[in-house]
Structure 1
Amino acid sequence: MEAARRQDAILHDARTGLHPRALRRAFADHLHLTRAHELTEATPYDRYVALAHAVRDRLVERWAKTQRTYYERDVKRAYYLSAEYLLGRALWSNLQALGIQDTYRAVLRDLGVNLDDLVGVEPDAGLGNGGLGRLAACFLDSAATLALPVTGYGIRYEFGIFEQVIRDGCQVELADEWLRFGNPWEIERPEHVVPVSFGGVTERVPSKHGGFRVIWRPEQQVLGVPFDTPVAGYGSDTVNSLRLWSSRAGQEFDFGLFNAGDYVRAVEQKNQTEVISKVLYPNDNFDAGKELRLRQEYFFVACSIADIIGRFNRTHADFRRLKDKVAIQLNDTHPAIAIAELMRVLMDDHLLPWELAWEQTVGSFGYTNHTLLPEALERWPVALFERLLPRHLEIIYEINRRVLREVRSAFPHDEARVQRMSLIEEGPERRVRMAHLAVVGSHSVNGVARLHSELVRTRLLRDFNELWPERFNNKTNGVTPRRWLSACNPALAALITEKVGAGWVTDLDRLLELEQHADDPDFLDRLATVKLENKRDLARLIQDELSITVDPASIYDVQIKRLHEYKRQLLNALHIVALYLRSKHGEAVTPRTFVFGAKAAPGYRMAKLIIQFIHAVAEVVNADRRQEALRVAFMPNYRVSLAERIIPAADVSEQISTAGMEASGTGNMKLAMNGALTVGTLDGANIEIREAVGPENFFLFGLDADEVEAKRRAGYKGSTAYASDPLLREVIDLIASGFFSPEDRTLFQPLLSALMGIDPYLTLGDFSAYAVCQKEVEVAHADRTGWSRKAALNIARMGMFSSDRTIREYGQEIWKVEPVAIVLDGPQSRI
């Protein structure tokens, strides 16, 4: 008994324990010592920072033990290189990972503080743009939850891509100052700064072993300062790291110039240097933007490779073991220069011969392709490469020479193939093909959905697949159920837990047990009630943000994703016009609330015009008192925290990209997992979702990838669809008349010209099938019990779309890394 009392006292008093008394004291201490405030005078931000530090303290013990365990056991580690990480708010996910969200809620309630208010204070981390970054965040979460030794690397952007505001229906970009007040989750590591070189010349000097070695004499050096963020595993004691690099000048300012009165030039180098990590994805429609973007990519890659090799070197002297201890995954082509950088480090700094360096490089790297769009596969001008990265261009030339020799040997007398596979694209401006570099320098090349991976093999990279078929594989994407179901939809999560137990949060296949309740009227009623409450919550948000009143009983029809023509937000908008015309003709239209969320790239004129068109349609539809059935809400500044409000409320998930163009999609998974029914094409992961949930629980329409390709080859034009469909013709004619732009009747003519001409994304070609499919949605929704049953089966059958499954496959099949159990002793252990 006495021993138990002593143990209880230890838990109560532990600095980083999880007992309510320890949690209360940690919050109070940080409020007083970190923010220099008492509770009564503290602002919401003070309280948020105090709570964040209290939670971070509990992660630090686990973080240190995790890293020490990896080191002591000399485990193989995986390193994930990504230009984006859309992490969302960290406070709730870290509370959830530690299992103390309910405890802290009660502790704070006793102090008169609402936990949800503090969670809402945290800004979204501005480290990504769209699905690429959201996927990377899911992967880090899953790796830590599965206890896999994985480190993420990226750039610590001072400003995110941009904050989107809408003025007169147009997108306006403002600076996303997410770091305005700092970030309590990160720890700066200036002692691990890395010098990064640019420009200059290379020299060949004699080697003491005979032959020669290459020395790069750069023109400029930049310092990369690492900032570490803990990534906590759910229900485990693993805490991995996300290391982000911030650029610093080697010299803050020229003191001589300053004293001479030339104040601008005194800090010129500092300003030019630190712009590298200033903003995510500068507009590369002009040469200065292209150069900055290449600088960004090489900067974070060089820092990361130096860090990886430095860590390897601390415990290993033999570089023949590198690929046995290091796995590096390239998340798309942005970090592909890492292949040339690793070769440079191994050969120039560590004097490895080419053959050994190449063996270790190919054995270490894996490449994930995320796009089938040729224009999205990065190609850098050779002249720019030569000026910024002269040594890397030499290495790329040599890689290319050796690869093309292998191609000619395998396929004699096929010079067309040689040209297609070359790392250098010939033309008026010679370019370096980064996707080709990623493929030839990696032992694994994967797509992110079954269809996408097949198209990568048979279309995009067919020549490489014929040379190295063993390198190509599929890893269908997934999403973390911790954030995208448990955290964002607590009422649904509670209902699921009641029916199948709590284990589903880390074993999503257990959702399948819900199937036995799919015909239970009580369960379906409760499921419908959860959805209705979520819809009411979103209705309040729409009212607060847009002053638009929407009916929670209406169908919430949701399309939330990056704005791109191939994703076909325009098809959705054209259909809204068709429904509006039907209502004007006196037809009964099922009440619908259309919810959009999307950012367009600043230089993407057509995408920004589509946003303007959606707003023009919304202005007319929402203001027309003669019809009450339709409402259109475009939610500005789409981001993770906004998605967390929209997704639980969605009835219909619009996944309507042109077949053969979407790599995978992850929004489709999140929405279906939360009980939305998909309206979709046979594109990306839609195919696998439809197979999983059942064709009867998925609204399919449109051409498949082969049919799309056949239509293009046959010279299809949108005007053909216009001529054959009276409803489509009425829609297009109404827009052309200037009905939605009376002040400038030609405003949307560029959209119509593209549609009526080549119509590259077959927006008009799929319109009739889309309209028919949407009528099927109306009929299905009229049967409320049947609709709830379809929603229940969507939820129940989404188990395979957990990112835990995806990362387990990466770990076993590509990285060859094993789970590492982290065992804590003493008061930090879970209680």
Structure 2
Amino acid sequence: MLGKNDRTGMTLENLKQALIDHLYYIQGRDEQFATLNDYYMALAYTVRDRLTDRRIKTAQTYFQKDTKVVYYLSAEFLVGRLSANNLINLGIYDEMKEATKKMGLNLEDLLEQEEEPGLGNGGLGRLAACFLDSLATLEIPAMGYGIRYEFGIFDQFIVDGWQRERPDNWLRYGNPWEIARIDYTVEIKLGGHTEAVTDAQGGYRVRWVPQDTVYGVPYDTPIPGYRNNTVNTLRLWSAKASEDFDFQVFDAGQYTQAVAEKTFSENISKVLYPNDNTPQGKELRLQQQYFFVSCSLQDIIRSYLRNHDNFDQFSNKVAIQLNDTHPSIGVAELMRLLIDEHALDWNRAWDITRQTFAYTNHTLLIEALERWSVSLFGRLLPRHLEIIYEINNRFLDEIRRKFPGDRDRLERMSLIQEGDDKHIRMAYLAFVGSHTTNGVAALHTELLKRDVMHDFYEMYPEKFQNKTNGVTPRRWLLMSNPKLSDLITSKIGDRWVKDLSELRKLEAFVDDAEFQKTWREIKQDNKRTLADYIQSDNNLEIDPDSMFDVQVKRIHEYKRQLLNALHVITLYNRIKQHGASPSDVPRTFIFGGKAAPGYFMAKLVIKLINSVAEVVNNDPDVKGLLKVVYLSNFSVSLGQITYPAADLSEQISTAGKEASGTGNMKFALSGALTIGTLDGANVEIREEVGEENFFLFGLDAQEVMAMKAQGYNPLAYYRNNAALKTVIDQIASGFFSPKEPALFKSIVDSLLYKDEYMLLADYQFYVDCQEKVSLAYQDQTQWTRMSILNVARMGKFSSDYTISEYCKSIWHVEPVPVSLEDCELPTPRLKPSLVDQV
């Protein structure tokens, strides 16, 4: 028998015994009949046990010390696979590897069994996951809140060059990392109407009489810090029907109608971002956003009231960060809860709300700043519409006092966009209801102040801050690039894992021939790993000695995967016409990313890339010089083998369109050099790594705006550039789609008659810059030097640094170390849970 202290012990024998116990008692299998998945589940439960001990101690510490807690509200958390990350953060990866080996198992095989939670589209969700990792590593009291989507982002597969989607049923085998907290279930109201009532003191109150109610059930996932005792929590909400079954209707023989309420309710957390091209889709998205925000705010208030009898200390104990506009309904919901449920007066509730919330803006695209139809909003959330109108009336009075007589400003800044179909501007609500608004890169923040939210900046300049995004070095270097991590640690020690600025010490080895040689060998090993994956998944052989030119990210017109494709065709034409030039180096162009299911142009770009690949990869004239690959179903796990293998990182969005980007940081952190525009965090990456170690091209944001203001004519570029004209004519003629010559007409028309994202204006700059890339790559000593300096100078782009800046100037929170010694707890003021009440 293991003693009490051995139950979650970290020794080899403890781990081995725990694996056997969980296999037998949880999975119900012995070693003779166990599958790989059984062993994986046993492993996950073994690790979770060790996290649970720390998670409970963490919660006890926060409660005992009545700490201020950061609550991070995000519609997306793209956490990736958790097993290896948790083993690394606990410091038992090697011990677990040895324990599984002694059982005749391979740890890597077990880790591959884990389903990846696809709870996000890309950068937004991955950033949220990085922030949770950093909050725990920095010992900051924090909790993430989101939705437990039953189906995450779709699985992408390519059929005849086209993206196809199938459901991502990531929960089909269960999720060993989560724990259901049924006792914290909350009730969510939807629809109905409001009624004016008089309270016991004779005051005016409003009662919301809903048409429907839904229950939100929380599921908790532990988030451990790196090599400390802190384990914070990601709490995801799942929608459950208030009535599972109407027996009387069923008894009448109408089964579908009998379960209709359950189906309606549980659709809310069914799928990540339902297509909003239809009225039903729009309504479901709004339901999702309100559902998880209301669940979270009710939970935050419940937690706060365990230690407090009133709301006097609420904003001193609670910091809520709105990750983009998706949770912005929280401003109105917190007001509703404080006024309607807890009987605070308006002014006091509004002061608390504005002192509690902070808002992160993630976009410069006007169409991406969420707006909701007033008619839809009023039908679904009638009480919130009343509250928003009252917030707006008081806000407009503020504007009138500061800018008397400026009617245009009132119209521009109103939370309600007037017109035949009125809309609520959710970004404006988030700003007005928060004490701070931040952008996510220096350029992005300046463009917010200058353009997108200029009126608000003129009125409240003190509310704007910048917090440049970052990535966690645990997953994006230590875990994804272990050989490079080991080399770095052998030279400068391992403090860089928690302080990325330590990487600056690598500059001492930048001209060390032996160090450079090992650096190149590691890159080649990583390239062979990716090449093996491509051979297996794409049935395509690629040359690890070629330059890996990589663009993997969400497919969107402003990210300009199409510009990359135009360059591929340009190189192909040049080699076909003139043969290889002295500056040419063999290149493998690697694309990857998902297009939104309803985004036709993005899907057509994927088809074009695959059509170009079909021609290029089967032409003997360019064999050994060009290859084109499309990685299907790009994910966090696939990113972990793609970023370390890249030689060149494509960050080529139109200047002024990308808020920040984090893929640019992941590439550079693994030694890829960047070709890019002055957009998003590219600007700061170039400043840090040195302009001589960055391949810059294209118009800057001001030049883009000036050219559009003067009347941009893409046809002029087409007519005056023979190489460009040839490329576009080939696409238009059906050269890459002989069975459907007009297939890419939409792309050609978009380029020639609109070119919203200035591809033709930047085309020649890009082609010329790619020539410089080829010449630089021929000098491998210099290229390796540039690669080392890119890694060495990435300290600013750690999410640890970003989070420390949020803590200092937005949240005003301090680290709270956790001891594994028992905490002496005061008796909490327990309240009956919703489950007890119903």
User: Which SS does the other structure have where 2:594 is aligned?
Assistant: coil
Residue 657 (structure 1) shift: 0.2
Q: Which residue of 2 aligns with 1:624?
A: 619
User: Which SS does the other structure have where 2:683 is aligned?
Assistant: helix
Q: Distance in 2 between matches of 1:337 and 1:701?
A: 40
User: Which SS does the other structure have where 1:626 is aligned?
Assistant: helix
AA at the equivalent of 1:617 = V
Within the candidate set 315, 318, 322, 1:323 is matched to: 315
Whether 2:603 is the aligned partner of 1:608: answer yes
Q: Distance in 2 between matches of 1:209 and 1:94?
A: 54
Q: Distance in 1 between matches of 2:242 and 2:733?
A: 60
AA at the equivalent of 1:403 = F
Q: Distance in 2 between matches of 1:84 and 1:467?
A: 31
User: Which SS does the other structure have where 1:527 is aligned?
Assistant: helix
Within the candidate set 323, 326, 333, 1:334 is matched to: 326
Per-residue CA distance 1:663-691 (angstroms, 9 max, x = gap): 00000000000000000000000000000
Q: Which residue of 2 aligns with 1:6?
A: none
Contact 1:11 1:22 in 2 (8 A): no
Q: Which residue of 2 aligns with 1:161?
A: 153
Any residues of structure 2 matched to 1:372-771 within 5 Å, and which? 372-588=364-580, 589-628=584-623, 629-771=625-767
- Structure 2 unaligned runs (5+)? 823-838
Any residues of structure 2 matched to 1:751-830 within 5 Å, and which? 751-825=747-821
Contact 1:12 1:19 in 2 (8 A): no
Within the candidate set 119, 130, 135, 1:127 is matched to: 119
Q: Distance in 2 between matches of 1:12 and 1:404?
A: 63
User: Which SS does the other structure have where 2:685 is aligned?
Assistant: helix
User: Which SS does the other structure have where 2:650 is aligned?
Assistant: strand
Per-residue CA distance 1:397-419 (angstroms, 9 max, x = gap): 00000000000111111111100
Contact 1:77 1:327 in 2 (8 A): yes
Q: Which residue of 2 aligns with 1:193?
A: 185
Contact 1:11 1:19 in 2 (8 A): no
Identity %: 56
Residue 161 (structure 1) shift: 1.9
Q: Distance in 2 between matches of 1:40 and 1:778?
A: 56
Q: Distance in 2 between matches of 1:191 and 1:11?
A: 31
Q: Distance in 2 between matches of 1:814 and 1:12?
A: 42
Q: Distance in 1 between matches of 2:256 and 2:177?
A: 34
Q: Distance in 1 between matches of 2:456 and 2:407?
A: 15
Per-residue CA distance 1:702-728 (angstroms, 9 max, x = gap): 000000000111110211111221111
Q: Distance in 1 between matches of 2:576 and 2:518?
A: 36
Q: Which residue of 2 aligns with 1:231?
A: 223
Q: Distance in 1 between matches of 2:800 and 2:348?
A: 34
Aligned residues: 818
User: Which SS does the other structure have where 1:632 is aligned?
Assistant: strand
Residue 825 (structure 1) shift: 3.4
Per-residue CA distance 1:231-251 (angstroms, 9 max, x = gap): 000011100000000000001
Q: Which residue of 1 aligns with 2:20?
A: 28
Any residues of structure 2 matched to 1:170-185 within 5 Å, and which? 170-185=162-177
User: Which SS does the other structure have where 2:130 is aligned?
Assistant: helix
Contact 1:12 1:21 in 2 (8 A): no
AA at the equivalent of 1:576 = V
Residue 210 (structure 1) shift: 3.3
Contact 1:205 1:213 in 2 (8 A): yes
Residue 326 (structure 1) shift: 0.5
Residue 107 (structure 1) shift: 1.2
AA at the equivalent of 1:467 = M
Residue 12 (structure 1) shift: 10
Q: Distance in 2 between matches of 1:455 and 1:84?
A: 25
Per-residue CA distance 1:719-767 (angstroms, 9 max, x = gap): 1111221111111111111100001111001001010012110011100
User: Which SS does the other structure have where 1:244 is aligned?
Assistant: strand
Whether 2:358 is the aligned partner of 1:366: answer yes
Contact 1:573 1:614 in 2 (8 A): yes
User: Which SS does the other structure have where 1:197 is aligned?
Assistant: strand
Q: Distance in 2 between matches of 1:73 and 1:720?
A: 67
Q: Which residue of 2 aligns with 1:70?
A: 62
Distance 1:731 1:11, change over 3 A: farther
Q: Which residue of 1 aligns with 2:835?
A: none
Per-residue CA distance 1:548-584 (angstroms, 9 max, x = gap): 1100010000001000000000000010000100110
Contact 1:84 1:136 in 2 (8 A): yes
AA at the equivalent of 2:619 = D
Q: Distance in 2 between matches of 1:229 and 1:304?
A: 15
Q: Which residue of 2 aligns with 1:313?
A: 305
Residue 612 (structure 1) shift: 0.5
Q: Which residue of 1 aligns with 2:78?
A: 86
AA at the equivalent of 1:689 = I
Q: Which residue of 2 aligns with 1:143?
A: 135
Per-residue CA distance 1:477-526 (angstroms, 9 max, x = gap): 00000000000000000000001101110010000000000000000000
Q: Distance in 1 between matches of 2:771 and 2:204?
A: 72
Residue 336 (structure 1) shift: 0.2
Give TM-score, length-normalised by structure 1: 0.98
Q: Which residue of 2 aligns with 1:345?
A: 337
Residue 11 (structure 1) shift: 8.4
User: Which SS does the other structure have where 2:551 is aligned?
Assistant: strand
AA at the equivalent of 2:184 = H
Give TM-score, length-normalised by structure 2: 0.97
Residue 637 (structure 1) shift: 0.5
User: Which SS does the other structure have where 2:83 is aligned?
Assistant: helix
Across the aligned residues of Structure 1 and Structure 2, the Cα RMSD in angstroms comes to: 1.0
Contact 1:171 1:612 in 2 (8 A): yes
Distance 1:12 1:155, change over 3 A: closer
Q: Distance in 2 between matches of 1:734 and 1:92?
A: 47
Q: Distance in 2 between matches of 1:765 and 1:51?
A: 54
Residue 108 (structure 1) shift: 1.0
User: Which SS does the other structure have where 2:660 is aligned?
Assistant: coil
Contact 1:320 1:356 in 2 (8 A): no
Within the candidate set 207, 221, 226, 1:215 is matched to: 207
Residue 585 (structure 1) shift: 1.1
User: Which SS does the other structure have where 2:276 is aligned?
Assistant: coil
User: Which SS does the other structure have where 2:313 is aligned?
Assistant: helix
Q: Distance in 2 between matches of 1:49 and 1:130?
A: 27
Q: Distance in 2 between matches of 1:420 and 1:45?
A: 56
Q: Distance in 1 between matches of 2:138 and 2:789?
A: 27
AA at the equivalent of 1:532 = Q
Contact 1:12 1:22 in 2 (8 A): no
Per-residue CA distance 1:589-638 (angstroms, 9 max, x = gap): 32101111110001111001000000000010011122111111101011
Contact 1:596 1:635 in 2 (8 A): yes
AA at the equivalent of 1:754 = S
Q: Distance in 1 between matches of 2:403 and 2:559?
A: 38
